[in-house]
Every structure is written in C-alpha cells, then in structure tokens.
Structure 1
Amino acid sequence: MAAAVRSGGLLERTRGFYLIVAVVLGVALAGAVAGFVLLGESWFQLLIAAALGLIFTQIAFVAHEASHRQVLGSGPANDRLGRVLATVGVGMSYAWWMTKHTRHHANPNRVGKDPDIEVDTISFLPQDAAKRRGLMGRLTRVQGYLFFPLLTLEGLNLHYRSFAALASRDAVKGRWIEIGSIIARFALYLGVLFALLPLGMAFAFLGVQLAVFGVYMGASFAPNHKGMPVVPRDLKLDFFSKQVRTSRNISGGWWASALMGGLNYQVEHHLFPNMPRPHLAAARRIVRAYCTTAQVPYTETSLFRSYGIVIAHLNRVGLAARDPFECPVIAQLRRA
C-alpha cells in the first residue's frame, strides 16, 4: 500500500511538472507570435527570432524526454507526442533522432558504435583528425576554438540530416507522416515570415533563429560526454561503469535542469533513461553515494568549466591533424 501511494505521488508530480512545462512553453510561443505581429517591419524582430530559437530548443528537450517514455503514461502516447513535437514544433525527424540516440545510449563514447563521436566537421577521435589534410587539417588543429562558432550552423545541419534520413532508402518508421508534417511546418513558418517581412529582414530573422537554436542545442548536449573517456571498440564494460564513466553532470540544481532540459543530470539519465526530469535530482544523491562506496569515478562540474574542458579536449584531438611529414625545424624557420 505504501509503495502504491509513493508511486502515485511520483506519477502526479511528473504530470504536474510537464503540465507546467507545457503551459510555460505555450505562453512563451504565443508571446513570440504576438510580438512578431505587433512589431511589424522592425529590426527588433531579431529579438523575436532569438526567442524562437530558445523556445524551439526547449520543445526539442520535451521531445527528447518523450522519446525516453518520460512524459506520458504509455510508450505509444509518448511516441505520438515526441513525433508531433519534433516534426511540427522543431522541424526535425523523430525517427532519425530515435535511431541515432538509441545507438548513443547503448554505447556512449564507444569507438565505432556511438554516432555522436563519428567524424563530421569536427573530429572527436585522434585517428579521424589524423586523416585531415589541407584546409580541413588546419581548421581541425584549432577545432576546439571553432566549436562554438560552428554551432551557429548546427540548427541548419539538424534540419538537413532529418531531410536526408527521410529521403534515404533506409527503412524509416512513419516516413510519410514525418515528411508531411515537416513540410507543412516549414511552409507555414517560412510563408508567414517572408510574406510579412521584407526579404532581407526575413532572411536575417531566419538566420538568427537557426543560429540561436544550433548554439543552444549544441551547448546543452556537448558537456554531457565530450572530453570524457573514450571506450575502445572491443573493450568490455559492465552497464554501470560504461554509463557512469563516460558521462558528465553539470552542477547548478534546478536552474541548470531548466536551462538544459534535465541534461545536466547526464549520469542518472544514462543509468535510468526512462526516469522523468523532476526525479533525477533525488536519483543523483543515491548514485553519488553508491559511486563513492564502489569507488567508481563520478564526474560533475560547472557549466562553464565543462565548456573549457570540451574546447581543450577538441584541440588536443585536433593536434593529430598536423602534417606527419613536416619538419619542426623547417616549420620554425618559416615562421621566423
């Protein structure tokens, strides 16, 4: 009976929390739309664009939580909610995200299995950086410093990858529903934008919104695993060690949780991926105590300290892009 009461209390707390989140996001979105209409042809519209970038990211956080069965009472209901929020609210493919994110959770930071450390514009592994030559090699050497500027393009990249996945020949669950939803979303969004604003202002609005969205998304997900131990392809680890040793928490409590959509509790999220956001803080206390007893490293740092760690790590990886045939003496004479 006591267990049932506790379970019921946790369920009510979860429902209440996500109801508040829905109301706040609804009011914020309505306010942004009202501001857009009232401002008219004004460069202050760029503030509305930035606000939409923040709102779309927060919607993406809830879609992420729905994909983990955290928001509603059943798996199918969470999937329906996640698909609507991802496609209509954000303009991303829910099926593509689910496939990619499921692989990441199964093998975080494992070489050859975690898609989040596969080479892209940024190289996350020295062996990938070592293959870079020419201009890309030079950029890779300082990729840590370029990481946050490059995130301004991440929003565009997420939309592109979603379209590419939906247009591929791979099996995609709900392909035509997602294609229709995303096309309708962009048709309405871009149609209103370019119909009511001058051409240059409309493009500036879209650029700011995509840049803020990309930076906010990347700045929320990057601290979670970048700079943490990388697991060799064939090394065997138990579930607990694999998830805890490769994850990093961000300190700050409730404000960090609100800012990052619960991703600040990355260790607990990886250990209990179906646990709703409002319960992760309590789980953190238990997990930290157990890690101390079991002598398993538990990593937690501040948000800005984590960014410093990520930048330094990416620059260390980028050093592998140096020209292996370059003579250090000749290189020094050239600079002189």
Structure 2
Amino acid sequence: MTTVVSRPIRTTRPRRVAAGGAVAGHASDYTELTRRVKAAGLLERRPGFYAIRVALLATAFAVATVLLVTLGHTWWQLLVAGLFGLLFTQVGFLAHDGAHRQMFTSGKRNEWVSRVMANLVVGLSYGWWMHKHSRHHANPNTEGKDMDMDANALVFTPRDAAARTGLAAVLMRKQGWFFFPVLTLTGLDLHVKSVRMLTARGEVKHRVLELALIAVRLIGFAALVIWAAGPVVGIAFLAVQVMVFGFTMGAAFAPNHKGMPLIDESQRVDYLRRQVLTSRNITGGWPVTLGMGGLNYQIEHHLFPSMPSINLHRARPIVKGYCAELGVPYTEATLPGSWAIVVRYIHRVGLGAADPFDCPAAAALRTA
C-alpha cells in the first residue's frame, strides 16, 4: 500500500500572494497536464464502450428478473436480491458517468439518460444528486462546501463532532466501529433523501417527472418482488437488496476522500492541487475497477470529470508522472488499506483528535 499523505503536515493559513509568479505558475500547471491528456486522446467519447456496458447490464437484469419470477416462494430468492443490489449499483455508476457527460457529446442527452437511469432504475433523484455531487467536485473535502462531508449517522470533521451532545456524542466516540454496518443503510438513506427532496417544492429541476419515475421504481419493484416471492420472503428480499446496494455504493465512494486532508473554506488552493491532494486512488486491477465503476481512479476522475471511465487507467501514468515532476503527492492504497485508513480517521474524529485544517497545500501551494 502507498499512502503518501497518511499523516498530513499541519500548516498555517496561507499568506496572500502577489499577482504573477507562483500564481501564474500554478494556474499553468493544470493547463499543461490537460494538454498532455488531450494529446493522448483520452478526453474523446467512447460510445462503443458504453453501448456494450448498457447491453451487458440489460442482459443481467433480464436474467435476474427471470430468476425472481420463476424461483417463487423460496429463501434462495435472497441470492437474487443480492444480485439486484449489485446491478443497481452498476447502473448508479453508469448514471454517474452520464451525469459527468462521459457518454455522449450532447449535454442534454447525457442529462436525460442519466435522469431516467437514476430515478427509474436505481431509485435515486438525479436532480438532488447532481446538486450535491457538483458541489463535491468543485470543493472536495472543503468544510462548509463539500456536502459529502456533512454529518449524518457518522461525522467527518471535528467541527461537526463538537456539535454532538448526549447519547449521540457517546456513540460518536465509537463511530469507527459502526462504519461497515452504517454502509448497509446507505441505500435506504439515498432513497429516503431522494423522496424527501422531490416532495419539497422547488428544490429539484423536473421535480414532478422525477417523482413519478422514482415512484414507479420504488413502488413497482417492491410490488413485483412481493408478488413473485410472497410477503415474508419478499420483505426479506427487499431488505437484502437495499443493504447490498447501500454497502457496495458506500464502499466504492468512501475510500476515495475520507481520511485525506481537509481544506478550510477560507483557504485558497489551485485546482490541480485541490483535486489531487484530497483524493486517493485504489489499486487492485480490473476486479476493483469493475466493483467501483472506475472510481478507483479518483484522482484522474476529479481532474477530468468528463473523461470516459474506461480511459482513466490510461490517464493514471500521465497524471502520476506529472505530479512527480511538480512534487505534488499522489496517493494510492489498496481497497482494504483504504478502508482501514477511513475507519481510523473517523474514529479519530469521534474522539476529537483530528485537525480539519491539515492540508499540505495550504501554505506553499496557492493560487488566485
């Protein structure tokens, strides 16, 4: 395992920088990296890859549906439930790619394909997720701006930890123990938040349409399962499906940023360093890439969000080599290693021992 920034250096708030000099240099760093990536053709769309991916998922869903309908009232259905959970996660990854305009050159086509997949297939509000995820990409690990850092069942910053009182504070001190169990509730949390935001008037674009699509998915799928497997097995089926979906989604997203340096919202860090220093790649080859939908190349994805996920592994040596030229830490870890880092980090936050403004970019690497 390689974790370059496992113990970030505490720094002071950055001083102001005069125009030119380091400011211009840092701004041009990303420009040069973009030139190299474009020269390699890695920002070109890959429609064939996405066509194959959609066809494989459609086939897998057809097989899973046939199994659901034909097995009847048997506990073997729980294996089918796990399969559906995995498939919903994979569609979630596909919708994520479309939301980042990786699938088509047309922004509208990407948007509508992702909206249908997210709401009608996954049961997740595209509009709500886009608002949340866009803020995350613009300000990763930035307290007060990155909604992925907001406190929920777990807290990720000492500021949020200090606000916990009573029983919540007691449980928070052991929150590292709860990381994996909480992941199983991620799917339920996504469904609930999606419905809540869609029923809040004016919060989401195309709210009525999304609400209709997500209702068909959540109510229609539950009805199909209970009809095919019976009420007892059916309810257990839905519970397993939601838990597998939540665990695989959470286990894919959490290792990429949790435990990496946090940036105070008042600190000014240039785009390249902001994305690289707050992100972690996950090693492990094609099995990890398949399981994480390509998001194991998180550094490359954050630097070039519209790059098709199939190209991210080819961008890695270019980005890693360029970061070495600049002296910018490039962090990688195995999947088990990254989970261990995350658990240690959130446990430390729960104990009140983490500094949210530890960021090696803050003092020396800054831009306008």
TM-score, normalized by length of structure 1?
0.91
For residues 286 and 7 of structure 1, do their structure 2 counterparts lie closer, same or farther at Cα, with a shift above 3 Å needed?
Answer: closer
8 Å contact 2:42–2:307 — kept in the other structure? no
1:265 aligned partner: 297
Matched, 1:46 2:78: yes
Match for 1:24: what amino acid? L
1:121-162 C-alpha deviation (Å, 9 max, x unpaired)? 110001211222222112111111101101111111000100
> What residue ranges of structure 1 are gaps of 5+ in the alignment?
322-336
Among 320, 323, 336, the alignment partner of 2:352 is 320
Query: Hey, what's the Cα distance between the residues in 1 that align with 2:44 and 2:142?
Result: 34
2:12 aligned partner: none
Equivalent residue of 1:180, what SS? helix
State the 1:196 CA deviation.
2.6
1:157-187 C-alpha deviation (Å, 9 max, x unpaired)? 0001001111113442111110111112223
> What residue ranges of structure 2 are gaps of 5+ in the alignment?
1-37, 354-368
2:180 aligned partner: 148
Matched, 1:32 2:75: no
Greater mean deviation of Cα atoms: 172-181 or 194-203: 194-203
1:309 aligned partner: 341
State the 1:46 CA deviation.
0.3
Equivalent residue of 1:130, what SS? helix
1:177-205 C-alpha deviation (Å, 9 max, x unpaired)? 10111112223211112223222211100
1:60 aligned partner: 92
For residues 6 and 140 of structure 1, do their structure 2 counterparts lie closer, same or farther at Cα, with a shift above 3 Å needed?
Answer: closer
Match for 2:156: what amino acid? F
State the 1:119 CA deviation.
1.0
Matched, 1:78 2:106: no
Q: Which has the higher contact order (CA 8 A, sep 6+)?
A: 2
State the 1:24 CA deviation.
1.4
Among 215, 226, 231, the alignment partner of 1:194 is 226
Match for 1:35: what amino acid? L
8 Å contact 1:228–1:246 — kept in the other structure? yes
1:293 aligned partner: 325
State the 1:272 CA deviation.
0.3
Equivalent residue of 1:47, what SS? helix
Match for 1:127: what amino acid? R
Query: Hey, what's the Cα distance between the residues in 1 that align with 2:139 and 2:342?
Result: 20
Match for 1:122: what amino acid? L
Among 184, 187, 194, the alignment partner of 1:162 is 194
Among 312, 315, 326, the alignment partner of 1:280 is 312
Quote the sequence identity (%). 48
2:286 aligned partner: 254
State the 1:281 CA deviation.
1.1
C-alpha RMSD of the superposition = 1.8
Query: Hey, what's the Cα distance between the residues in 2 that align with 1:140 and 1:6?
Result: 47
1:218-269 C-alpha deviation (Å, 9 max, x unpaired)? 0000001000000012010000110000000001232222110110000000
8 Å contact 1:110–1:233 — kept in the other structure? yes
Query: Hey, what's the Cα distance between the residues in 1 that align with 2:245 and 2:272?
Result: 33
1:240 aligned partner: 272
8 Å contact 1:105–1:270 — kept in the other structure? yes
8 Å contact 1:91–1:185 — kept in the other structure? yes
1:56-78 C-alpha deviation (Å, 9 max, x unpaired)? 00000000000000012210000
Q: How many residues align?
A: 316
8 Å contact 1:127–1:320 — kept in the other structure? no
Match for 1:248: what amino acid? R
2:136 aligned partner: 104
8 Å contact 1:253–1:281 — kept in the other structure? no
TM-score, normalized by length of structure 2?
0.83
